[in-house]
Amino acid sequence: MNKIYALIIPRFEDIFHSYFSCEVIKGASVAASRLKVDLLVHITERYSHQDWLTSSLLNPKNIDGILFADIDSDLVTLKKVIAKKIPYIVMNNFFEEPINCISIDNKKAAMEVADYLVELGHTDIATIAGDLTTQAGKLRLEGYKEALDKKGIKIKDEYVGPGNFLRSSARLAAMNLLKLKNPPTAIFAASDIMALEVIDVAKSYNLVVPKELSVVGFDDNPINVYSPIGLTTVSQPLMEMGRIAVEKLDQIVLGKLKPPVKVFLGTKLIKRATCAKPERQTNEKI
């Protein structure tokens, strides 16, 4: 009988159109097929994770291991799952504690984006942050702030907009940023979906990208082919993360790998047509 691994994915807007979810499932499925294990996809609530402990689907009698696509900062419930001695691995998070995890280097990637914009000559650099209940969202914001701080660029509070990895939130954040008395000359959006909303809002305000506004996203999402201009973005190996997670979990289950298992995956800044030197510079240095 094939081993069964449960892949737990948090429920959110457009989950079945989500690049993150689709890539993770794709990578996990490829590895599961090769290893001849069955993959059970379990969609859970974002902010209430009692079903990690109470669902019959996640009973050790029914599954051989658990893959968390994310834990949305719920370390307390995760530790209760770990205490049940079910083999597991957490994706999209990195822990200093002895917890099995595989993650993208989100902070370093965001710092590279900010450094690139500064190198082009931008000082009025805003960001539309992702969901700050996720480690990815937090670290991308931290990377943006730390990079600008190291460059001696003062970060204005109004230059940090809430996007939550959603189209609607990102669109509102972009409108608020571009209506400021001193609007940014560059915007780093924590996902490509949000970056495309920025470009669309800029167009509605008769702003030319990148001449009057530089835009950077994060993901290298295939949906970018529908963008009117090639989007500068960060490529992250999400499919690879899903594949490696299943492979590492299988090795843990078979006793071939001793916990804690930790994997850190790199990213790549893809420079396309949405960034250019700014026409104006007004931000103060610290």
Question: Do residues 172 and 258 share a domain?
Answer: no
Query: Do 51 and 144 belong to one domain?
Result: no
- Residue 83: which residues within 8 A CB-CB, separation 6 or more? none
Is there a domain that residue 172 lies in?
yes
- The answer on 183 and 73 residing in a single domain is no
Q: Are residues 117 and 224 in the same domain?
A: yes
Question: What would the pLDDT profile of 81-105 be if each residue is shown by its tens digit?
Answer: 999 999 999 999 999 999 999 999 9
Same domain, 151 and 130: yes
Indicate if 211 and 153 belong to the same structural domain: yes
In terms of Cβ atoms closer than 10 Å to its own Cβ (0-12, 13-18, 19+), residue 255 is exposed
What span, in angstroms and rounded, lies between the C-alpha atoms of 196 and 262? 33
Residue 42 within any structural domain of the chain: yes
Tell me: cis bond preceding 260? Omega within 30 of 0 counts.
Answer: yes
Ranges under pLDDT 50 in the chain: 286
Same domain, 127 and 213: yes
**213 and 196, same structural domain?**
yes
Residue 282 domain-assigned? no
pLDDT at 279: 84
Q: Does a structural domain hold residue 199?
A: yes
Indicate the SS3 state at residue 113: helix
249 and 198 in a common domain? no
- Specify whether 42 is located in the same domain as 27: yes
Report the pLDDT value the prediction gives residue 3, as an integer from 0 to 100: 96
Task: Name the domain boundary from 190, 219, 235.
Answer: 235
User: The CATH number of the domain where 136 resides is what?
Assistant: 3.40.50.2300
Q: What is the number of structural domains in the chain?
A: 2
Residues 148, 66 within the same domain: no
Q: Dump pLDDT digits (tens) for 229-281.
A: 999 999 999 999 999 999 999 999 999 999 999 999 999 999 999 999 998 65
**Do 127 and 196 belong to one domain?**
yes
**Does 45 map to a domain?**
yes
Residue 20 domain boundaries: 4-104+236-266
Report the predicted TM-score, pTM, of the whole model to 2 decimal places.
0.92
Distance spanning both ends of the chain, measured CA to CA:
63
Query: What pLDDT sits at residue 67?
Result: 98
Q: State residue 14's pLDDT score.
A: 66
The pLDDT assigned to 13 comes to 65
Residue 281, in any domain of the structure: no
Sign of the alpha-carbon dihedral angle for 278, 281, 283, 286: positive
DSSP 72: T
